[in-house]
């Protein structure tokens, strides 16, 4: 068997072939072995010359800089990992909270719907264009011939199935509205809804305060949500005094009825105006918009309206609240 140089294709001996393959990784003749050996020697000598020029001080400086850079990068990566981990935890926690709220809303829907009879469920389905029956097929046998075939028939949904379909397709507010129109006693459920939603709001404010570093307006809103009057009052001044006393225990700078220009809010806490209404009727709601226009000029730090014992039709209240949010998006409205 003959062997050839990988470059010039000259015939080489078996010994030259194996020697070259071992030393240079490819078959070379003696001439190209010498060329290849000389080239590699020159390349190896270059970094040695550069190394001889470096002083011990230079080497120490470079080594120190490398270690410092490595430490900085390690610290940066560690901070990034911690921040990423915290972000993931917060994201997961937020998703869990939202899921828990959705499950609770479905439970409230179920409780209200099960206080209705099947006829009332049918009426609600008709109002919301929800089908109450469907078409199914079943296998039927011809007794004479013994042959079987599929036959369609109309299937009416059961009570539980109607409840399930309505829960998925109708909002909680619409179910509550229908129940009230049909004189269903759901006061206990509504009370539970208000308390639970208030707790959600307090939790939401607490999380916002943690993320934003806490601001006085958020702290004040949280404190008002946590306030519970001892009983229902029939005069607004009693709601005002009890709320002011509660806030005074938490905020030293709390005053009652401070006049600025043509304005005189019920309570002022560190420059934030608080307007109190209670018991609240439709005329009380109508006066709030006028006060919002005037108060915002003299209390730019913020304005909070607290409504106790609201005696207004739910739909009318929702319309009023929507209008307020559109006109005065910065005004905080708390219903107690």
Q: Would the pLDDT of 109 be above 50?
A: yes
Q: For position 130, what pLDDT does the model report?
A: 93
In a domain, 115, yes or no: no
Residue 50 pLDDT: 45
Residue 118 resides in a domain: no
User: Do the domain assignments include residue 49?
Assistant: yes
Sign of the Cα torsion 290, 296, 297, 298 reads: positive
Q: What pLDDT score was predicted for residue 259?
A: 66
CATH of the domain at 324: 3.40.1350
Residue 93 covered by a domain: no
Cβ proximity of 332 and 301 under 8 Å: no
Side-chain-facing half-sphere of 253: CA atoms under 13 Å: 8
Residue 125 is predicted with a pLDDT of 95
Residue 321 in any domain: the answer is yes
Residue 66 has pLDDT above 60, yes or no: no
What is the span of the domain harbouring residue 242? Answer: 216-336
Model confidence band, residue 27 (pLDDT cutoffs 50, 70, 90): confident
Banded model confidence at residue 48, pLDDT cuts 50, 70, 90: very low
What pLDDT shows up at residue 59? 45
> Which two three-digit tokens encode residue 208?
């916002």
Cα Rg of the chain (Å, integer): 40
310 lies in some domain: yes
What is the tens place of the pLDDT at every residue in 230-283?
A: 888 999 999 999 999 999 999 988 988 776 666 788 899 988 899 999 999 999
The pLDDT of 116-128, averaged and rounded, is 94
Write the CA distances from 177 to 183, 191, 318, integer angstroms. 10, 15, 12
Percent of the chain with pLDDT over 70: 79
Distance from C-alpha of 55 to C-alpha of 179, rounded to nearest angstrom: 90
Domain count, the chain: 2
Of 216, 211, 335, which Cα lies nearest the Cα of 285? 335
Average predicted confidence (pLDDT) for the chain: 80
Residue range 117-145: average pLDDT? 88
Is residue 187 one of the residues assigned to a domain?
Answer: no
Q: What is the pTM of this model?
A: 0.51
Q: Is the peptide bond before 308 cis (omega within 30 degrees of 0)?
A: no
Assess if residue 140 is contained within a domain. Answer: no
Q: For the residues 31-51, what does the mean pLDDT come to?
A: 61
Distance CA 178, CA 184 (A): 9
Note the pLDDT tens digit of each residue in 222-241: 899 889 898 889 999 999 99
pLDDT in tens, 162-218: 999 999 999 999 999 999 999 999 989 988 888 888 788 777 776 766 665 557 888
């Amino acid at each position: 068997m003959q062997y050839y140089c990988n470059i010039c294709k000259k015939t080489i001996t078996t010994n030259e072939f194996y020697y070259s393959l071992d030393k240079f990784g490819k078959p070379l003749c003696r001439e190209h072995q010498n060329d290849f050996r000389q080239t590699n020697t020159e390349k190896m000598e270059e970094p040695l010359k550069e190394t001889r020029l470096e002083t011990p001080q230079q080497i120490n400086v470079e080594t120190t800089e490398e270690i410092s850079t490595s430490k900085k990068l390690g610290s940066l990566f560690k901070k990034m990992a911690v921040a990423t981990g915290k972000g993931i935890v917060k994201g997961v926690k937020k998703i869990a909270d939202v899921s828990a709220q959705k499950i609770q809303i479905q439970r409230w829907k179920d409780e209200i719907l099960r206080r209705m009879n099947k006829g009332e469920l049918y009426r609600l389905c008709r109002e919301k264009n929800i089908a109450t029956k469907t078409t199914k097929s079943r296998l039927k046998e011809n007794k004479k011939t013994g042959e079987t075939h599929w036959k369609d028939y109309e299937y009416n949904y059961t009570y539980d199935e109607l409840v399930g379909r309505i829960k998925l397709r109708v909002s909680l507010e619409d179910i509550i509205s229908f129940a009230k129109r049909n004189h269903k006693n759901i006061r206990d459920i509504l009370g539970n809804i208000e308390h639970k939603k208030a707790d959600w709001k307090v939790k939401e404010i607490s999380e916002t305060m943690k993320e934003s570093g806490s601001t006085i307006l958020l702290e004040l809103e949280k404190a008002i949500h946590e306030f519970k009057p001892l009983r229902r009052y029939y005069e607004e001044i009693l709601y005002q005094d009890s709320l002011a006393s509660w806030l005074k225990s938490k905020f030293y700078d709390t005053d009652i009825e401070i006049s600025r220009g043509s304005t005189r809010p019920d309570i002022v806490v560190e420059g934030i105006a608080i307007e109190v209404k209670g018991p609240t009727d439709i005329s009380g709601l109508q006066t709030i918009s006028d006060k919002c226009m005037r108060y915002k000029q003299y209390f730019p730090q913020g304005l909070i309206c607290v409504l106790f014992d609201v005696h207004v039709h739910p739909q009318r209240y929702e319309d009023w609240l929507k209008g307020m949010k559109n006109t005065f998006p910065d005004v905080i409205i708390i219903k107690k």
